[in-house]
Structure 1
Amino acid sequence: MSSVRPLEAADIDQVAALYLETFLRRGKSPSLDLITCLENFYLSGPTVDRQIPSLVHVNDKGAISGFVGVNVVPMKFSENRLRAAFGGTLMVRDREQDPMAGARLLKTFLSGPQDLSLSETANTTSLEMAKALRGVPFASYSLEWMRILKPAAFACDMALRKSSLRKWALPAARGLDWLHGWSGYAGGRVAKDAARTAKAEPVKHVDAEAFAGSVEILTSHYQLRPDWPGPQWRHVVREAFEKPLYGQPVAALVTGNGSPIGAFLYHLREGGVGRVLQMLALPGREGKVIDCLLADADRRGAAGLRGRTHPAFLEAMLGRNMMFANVTNTVAFCRDEAIIDCFRRGQALANGLAGESWGRHIGGNFT
C-alpha cells in the first residue's frame, strides 16, 4: 500500500532521479552536484524545519514515486511572527497508475503546523488540486511579464536557448535588430526613453553581500514579509546568484539622494533574454526601478527581459510595452482571512527571494 512520509537522507538519490526525469528530461543519471544541491536545500539548509519536512510518496513496491519540497520562511505579519511553508517541486511518477499521489502529498503538506502554506510554482494540475483543497490563487502574483528589447534576438533565444544552433543564429538575429533600430523600431525607442529616465537615478552594481544588506530597508513597508536575520538573507542571496543556466548574475541598487530607493537582480546569457529574479522599490519608485532595469539590460545587449509580476509593479508596467502570460501560479492556504486579504491588496512580499525560486536547484547546470 502506498504512503507519504518525511524525506530522509537515504531518499535523495531517488528524488534527484525523479527531478531529472520531471524537469530536465535528459535521460541520464543524476549528477553528484544535483544530489548535493537537493540535499542541502531540502535537508540541511537554513529553510529546513524538522516540524514541517519535505515529503516523499512511496508506492506499494517501496520505491519513491512522488515528492513535494518544502522550505520554511519565518515571516512578519504586521507585528506578529509566523511560519510560512512553501511547497514546491511537486512531482509524481506514473500518475496514471496512482492518480491520487499528488493530492496525498499536498494534503499531508497542508496538515503541518505552519501558519501559512504557499506555492509559487503551481502548474495547471497543481492549481486545480489546490483549489479543491481551498487554496486561494492570486492573479497579480501569477503572471510572467516579458519585455522585448531586440525582437529578432528575443525570438532566437526563446526558440533556441537549449539548442547548439543558438550560437550560429544569434549573430544573424542581431543584424536584423540593428536594421530595426536604424529604422526607428518602436521597441528600441522605448529602451532609449528608459535610458534617459534612468540617468536621473544612479545605479550601483553590487555583490551578493551588498544586495542582501539592502533588502530590509526596501521591504519594510510590506505588511507580510520575510523575517530572516542578516546571515540568512546573505545565504539566500548568495544562492540566488548561482544560476548558470540563466547566465551571469547582475545585481544593482537604484539610489536617490545617496540612499537606496530600489534594487533588481537578474541573470543574463550573452545576447539572450535576461531572467529577473527580484525587483524591489520603495512605494512610488517602482517606475524608476523598471526604467533602470530596462536601461541596464539594454546596455548589456540583452534581447529582452522576463520575470514574475508583483502587484506593486503592475501599474508601473503600463505604458512600457510589456507582455504577460500565465505559466505558473502563486497560491496561498490560510485560515486567517486577514492574511489572504493582505495578498489581495498586494501587501505581501512573495515569489523570488521570498519564495523558493532563489534555490540553486532552479537554474543550476547539473550536467
Structure 2
Amino acid sequence: MPEIRPLQAADLAVVADMFQRVLRKRRTPTPASLPGYLQRLYLDSTDGTAGSPSLVHVADDGRISGFIGVTSLPMRFNDKKLNASICGSLMVDEDQRNDLSGARLLKAFLAGPQDLSFSETASDVTASMWTTLRGSILPDYSLDWIKVFRPVAFAVAGAKQRMPIARLGAPVARAVDACLGLRRSGEFSRWFGAGDATASQGRYTVSDIDADGFAGQLDKFTSRLAVHPAWDEKSLSRIMSDASAKKDFGDIFRCTVAARTGAIIGAFIYFGRPGDIGHVLQVLALPGQAGAVIDCLINHAAGAGLAGIRGRTQPALLEAMLGRRIIFINVNSTVVHSRDPELVRQFQAGNGFFNGLVGEHWSRIFGDHFD
C-alpha cells in the first residue's frame, strides 16, 4: 500500500538522485554535496511543527517514488504572527506519474498546520492541482519579465542553454550588436539597450552593498505590505548566504538606489556575466519610486555588458514596468492556499510580499551546481 510520510535523513541520497534526474535533468552522477544541502534546506532549517514537513511518497515496493520539499517562513499579517510553508520542489518518478502520486503529496502538504502555503514554481499541471485543492493562482506574481539590451547576443545566450555549441556565435553576436548599437534613436533604442533608463541615471546614486547590508534594508521595503516576512536574524543570514551562491548564473550584483538627498529609495540583486542573460532575484522600491529603481537596474545591467535580464514580477512593480519595453511571459505560476480567505484576498489584491527572497529562488537549487 503506498504511503506518504515525512522526509527522513536516511531518504536524502535517494531524493538527491531524484533531484538530479527529474528537476535538474542531468544524466551525470549526483554531486556528492547535494544530499547534505538538501538536509540543511529541508530538515535542519525547517520547522516541521509550525507547518508541513517535507514529504516523500513511498510506492508499493518500498521505493521512494515522489517528493515534495518544504521550507518554513514566519510571516505577519499586520500584527498577527503567521506560519507559512513554501512548496519548493514537487517531483515524481516517471513510472509513477499516472497514479496520482503528485496529487497525494500536494494534498498532504496543504493539510499541514500552516496558516499559508505557497509555491512560485508551479507548472501548468501543478497549478491545476493547487486550484483543484482550493488554492489560488496569483497572476500579478506569476509573470517573468524580460528586458533585452543586445538582441543578437540575447538570442545566442538563449540558444546555448539548449545547444552549447551556439556559444561559438558569441563573437559574431557582439559585432552585430555593436553595429546595431549605433542606432540610438527612435523605437529601436527604446526596445533595445538602456534607452530612457540612461537619461534618468544622473538623478540617482547606485551603490554596491554586501549581503548583510542588503538584509538590513529588507524590512524597510517588505513591512509596508499587509502580509510580509518576519525572519529572525539567523534564518535571514542563511537565506542571504544561499542567495549569493549561484555559480551557474554568474557574478552577483547587490545594489542600493539613493535619491539626491541620500535617502535610499530601492535596492536590487541580480546575477550575470557579459554576453549572457542576467537573472534578477529581487527588486525593492518605496511607493512611487519603482520606475526609478527599475531604470537604475536596467542601466546597471546594460553597463555590465549583459545581453538582457529577466526576473519575476511583484504587483508593486508592474505599473512602472509598462512603457519600458519589457516583455512579459508566464513560465511558472505563483500559487497560494489558506483556510483563511482574508489572507488569500490580501495577496490577490497585491498586499502581500512574495517571490524571490520571500519564496524559493533564493536557494542554491536555483543556479548552483554543487561541485
Normalised by the size of structure 1, how large is the TM-score?
0.96
Deviation at 1:361, TM superposition (A): 1.4
Write the mapping of 1:2-13 to structure 2, written as runs, cut at 5 A: 2-13=2-13
Deviation at 1:201, TM superposition (A): 1.0
| Aligned position for 2:366 | 362
| Aligned position for 1:273 | 277
- Rounded to whole Å, the distance in 2 between the matches of 1:2 and 1:98 is 14
SS across alignment from 1:254: strand
Counterpart code for 1:29:
P
| 1:219-252 per-position Cα deviation (integer Å, ceiling 9, x unaligned) | 2211111001233222211211111111111110
Structure 1 residue 116 corresponds to structure 2 residue 116: yes
Structure 1 residue 323 corresponds to structure 2 residue 330: no
Q: Is the 8 A contact 1:274 1:305 kept in 2?
A: yes
Counterpart code for 1:92:
V
Counterpart code for 2:48:
D
| Aligned position for 2:230 | 227
- Rounded to whole Å, the distance in 2 between the matches of 1:224 and 1:11 is 34
Identity across the alignment (%): 41
Deviation at 1:253, TM superposition (A): 0.6
Deviation at 1:199, TM superposition (A): 2.0
Q: Is the 8 A contact 2:223 2:229 kept in 1?
A: no
Structure 1 residue 288 corresponds to structure 2 residue 287: no
Give me the CA root mean square deviation.
1.5
Counterpart code for 1:156:
V
Structure 2 unmatched ranges of 5 or more = none
| Aligned position for 1:49 | 48
SS across alignment from 1:245: helix
Structure 1 residue 130 corresponds to structure 2 residue 134: no
| Aligned position for 2:169 | 169
Normalised by the size of structure 2, how large is the TM-score?
0.95
| Equivalent residue in structure 2 for 1:246, among 244, 249, 262 | 249
Q: Is the 8 A contact 2:54 2:70 kept in 1?
A: yes
| Aligned position for 1:299 | 303
Write the mapping of 1:83-98 to structure 2, written as runs, cut at 5 A: 83-95=83-95, 98=98
- Rounded to whole Å, the distance in 1 between the matches of 2:318 and 2:214 is 23
Deviation at 1:66, TM superposition (A): 0.3
Counterpart code for 2:31:
S
Deviation at 1:95, TM superposition (A): 5.0
| Aligned position for 1:211 | 214
| Aligned position for 1:63 | 63
| Equivalent residue in structure 2 for 1:352, among 342, 352, 356 | 356
Deviation at 1:62, TM superposition (A): 0.8
| Aligned position for 1:261 | 265
- Rounded to whole Å, the distance in 2 between the matches of 1:95 and 1:151 is 41
Deviation at 1:193, TM superposition (A): 2.2
Deviation at 1:202, TM superposition (A): 0.5
Structure 1 residue 151 corresponds to structure 2 residue 151: yes
| 1:71-112 per-position Cα deviation (integer Å, ceiling 9, x unaligned) | 110001111010011112100002556421001100110111
- Rounded to whole Å, the distance in 2 between the matches of 1:189 and 1:168 is 23
The structure-2 alpha-carbon separation of the partners of 1:363 and 1:320, relative to structure 1 and needing over 3 Å to count, comes to same
- Rounded to whole Å, the distance in 2 between the matches of 1:22 and 1:94 is 8
- Rounded to whole Å, the distance in 1 between the matches of 2:257 and 2:27 is 43
- Rounded to whole Å, the distance in 2 between the matches of 1:171 and 1:86 is 42
| 1:130-188 per-position Cα deviation (integer Å, ceiling 9, x unaligned) | 11101110110001111111100111111113544244211211111111111334247
Structure 1 unmatched ranges of 5 or more = none
Q: Is the 8 A contact 1:148 1:187 kept in 2?
A: no
SS across alignment from 1:276: strand
Number of equivalent positions: 366
Q: Is the 8 A contact 1:149 1:191 kept in 2?
A: yes
SS across alignment from 2:200: helix
The structure-2 alpha-carbon separation of the partners of 1:48 and 1:269, relative to structure 1 and needing over 3 Å to count, comes to farther
